[in-house]
Chains A and B, each alone.
Chain A
Amino acid sequence: DQQVKQNSPSLSVQEGRISILNCDYTNSMFDYFLWYKKYPAEGPTFLISISSIKDKNEDGRFTVFLNKSAKHLSLHIVPSQPGDSAVYFCAANSGAGSYQLTFGKGTKLSVIP
């Protein structure tokens, strides 16, 4: 039972355009959501997060949107750059004193120059 789903295994975007990565979750206890970027043979790098009390969080070129009623979040990257090409993971935490993260299976983003 996958509690965090990233339904698009891959996404290709032209350089300079917007990249939109999507994530759905089923567990209503999740209250904190994070996006990580991962290159092959490296650990995930934290990008941006959002608490369930917000619906948007922005950091430079990265914006995360949260729609709690739809149990959906998305990561927008504007403008996309070739260096953004990597696998992006959505993760969720249910609080309650635990640091455990539940991850989606990732979306491979390719930014074409």
Chain B
Amino acid sequence: KAGVTQTPRYLIKTRGQQVTLSCSPISGHRSVSWYQQTPGQGLQFLFEYFSETQRNKGNFPGRFSGRQFSNSRSEMNVSTLELGDSALYLCASSLIQGGLKTQYFGPGTRLLVL
């Protein structure tokens, strides 16, 4: 099976712009989660989608939003970009095995805000 794919891999934007990142989960996985990784804060949970519904949201401002499509593909959007939004954005898709939930991560999108 193909792994989680994310596009684009690298992105440079300027302050005030908006950006959309895309994630395709592993085939058959219906849950997609997004995380932000920065050197100071580590990996922080953004939100989780299951069957096109946001089930859980982390402690991020409303500028961060997402959605999931009927084929389980997901997008996240960041509006009015700030310098502090520069980070590696990771998408993970999830599988339940024996009642336990394991997340598998994509390679990430490296966003640089200038």
Kindly list 18 other residue pairs between chains A and B, CB separation below 8 angstroms, not including A36-B105, A98-B55.
A32-B101, A41-B88, A41-B108, A43-B4, A43-B6, A43-B107, A43-B108, A45-B105, A46-B103, A46-B105, A99-B50, A99-B103, A100-B48, A101-B43, A101-B92, A103-B35, A103-B42, A106-B42
User: Is A102 at the interface (CB under 8 A from chain B)?
Assistant: yes
> Does the CB pair B106–A101 fall under 8 Å?
no
Residues of B within 8 A of A106 (CB): 42
> Does the CB pair A43–B90 fall under 8 Å?
yes
For residue A76, give the distance in angstroms from its CB to the closest CB of chain B. Answer: 20
- A–B Cβ pairs within 8 angstroms, 17 of them: A41-B88, A41-B107, A41-B110, A42-B107, A42-B108, A44-B43, A46-B103, A93-B101, A98-B55, A98-B56, A99-B50, A99-B56, A99-B94, A100-B58, A101-B43, A103-B35, A106-B42
User: Is B24 at the interface (CB under 8 A from chain A)?
Assistant: no
**Residue interface mask A93-113, B partner, CB < 8 A = 1:** 101011111111110000000
Give A103 to B42 CA distance when docked, in angstroms. 8
Residue from A43, A49, A106 whose CB has the most chain B CB atoms within 10 Å: A43
Residues of B within 8 A of A97 (CB): 55
**Residue interface mask A59-101, B partner, CB < 8 A = 1:** 0000000000000000000000000000001010101011111
Residues of B within 8 A of A51 (CB): 100
Give A43 to B48 CA distance when docked, in angstroms. 17
> Does the CB pair A104–B42 fall under 8 Å?
yes
User: Is A23 at the interface (CB under 8 A from chain B)?
Assistant: no
